[in-house]
């Protein structure tokens, strides 16, 4: 049984419209990048440009994206079957590819793990499910998702109604915000993410 507070909180989340994240967050490419059979994602840093990189593990192999531009910079359609999914390693890692070759990348998603829930400069991310199994991703400027109206200090930025949410969170640098479902990847970056 839900308390009055919990009922009000559930109603607040149910009534919040989906909106774009506020400034300084900017969508990368066309917002949702289709990736069928997505199992999980992880982050790395490009050794030359310093950009955040997003590694994607899917049923169709591994891909690597530049999180500042959305460009796919590496693809492996046939990774080693002994290490192709993060559940093959106790630390939920997969071998990196492209600019991350020779490293292991922690992957969050279907097999567990998680991304950063805070950006390091005041942004927070929460996943709520007031209408389970449809999950909602909420971004807040100060951890204040329980106070004020949506669009003031918290935003409902993603509503997973068509696919299963795999993971949502920030890159370790805090410059990239990612939401991954079983069918697509959505990225937002701060303008300084291109440095």
Q: Where are the domains of the chain?
A: 4-184
Q: According to the model, what pLDDT value does residue 57 have?
A: 98
Q: According to the model, what pLDDT value does residue 112 have?
A: 96
State pLDDT tens for residues 68-105: 999 999 999 999 999 999 999 999 999 999 999 999 99
Q: How many residues does the chain have?
A: 195
Residue 46 in this model has a pLDDT that exceeds 70: yes
Q: What angle do CA 117, 146, 41 make, to 5 degrees?
A: 20
Residue of 191, 189, 192 lying closest to 21 (CA atoms): 189
Q: What is the pTM of this model?
A: 0.94
Comparing 121 with 145, the larger pLDDT belongs to: 121
Please give the average per-residue pLDDT across 48-58, as a whole number: 96
How far is the C-alpha of 21 from the C-alpha of 24, rounded, in Å? Answer: 8
- Residue 15 token pair: 């009534």
Q: According to the model, what pLDDT value does residue 192 have?
A: 65
How far is the C-alpha of 6 from the C-alpha of 184, rounded, in Å? Answer: 31
Bridge partners (DSSP) of residue 60 are none
Residue 145 in this model has a pLDDT that exceeds 80: no
State pLDDT tens for residues 169-195: 999 999 999 999 999 999 999 986 444
Render 59-99 in DSSP notation, one character per residue.
TTEEEEEETTT--EEEEESS--TTSSSGGGSTT-EEE--GG
Q: What angle do CA 38, 81, 59 make, to 5 degrees?
A: 20
Q: According to the model, what pLDDT value does residue 193 have?
A: 43
Q: According to the model, what pLDDT value does residue 3 have?
A: 95
């Amino acid at each position: 049984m839900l308390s009055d507070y919990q009922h009000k909180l559930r109603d607040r989340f149910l009534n919040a419209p989906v909106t774009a994240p506020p400034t300084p967050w900017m969508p990368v490419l066309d917002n949702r990048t289709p990736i069928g059979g997505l199992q999980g994602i992880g982050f790395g840093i490009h050794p030359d440009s310093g950009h955040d990189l997003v590694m994607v593990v899917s049923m169709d192999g591994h891909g690597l994206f530049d999180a500042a531009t959305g460009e796919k910079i590496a693809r492996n359609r046939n990774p080693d079957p002994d290490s192709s999914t993060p559940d093959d390693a106790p630390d939920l890692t997969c071998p990196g590819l492209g600019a991350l070759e020779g490293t292991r990348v922690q992957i969050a998603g279907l097999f567990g793990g998680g991304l950063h829930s805070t950006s390091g400069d005041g942004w927070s991310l929460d996943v709520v499910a007031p209408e389970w199994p449809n999950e909602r991703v909420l971004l807040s400027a100060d951890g204040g998702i329980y106070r004020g109206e949506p669009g003031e200090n918290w935003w409902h930025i993603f509503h997973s109604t068509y696919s299963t949410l795999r993971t949502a969170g920030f890159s370790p640098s805090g410059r990239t915000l990612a939401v991954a479902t079983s069918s697509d990847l959505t990225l937002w970056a701060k303008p300084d993410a291109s440095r």
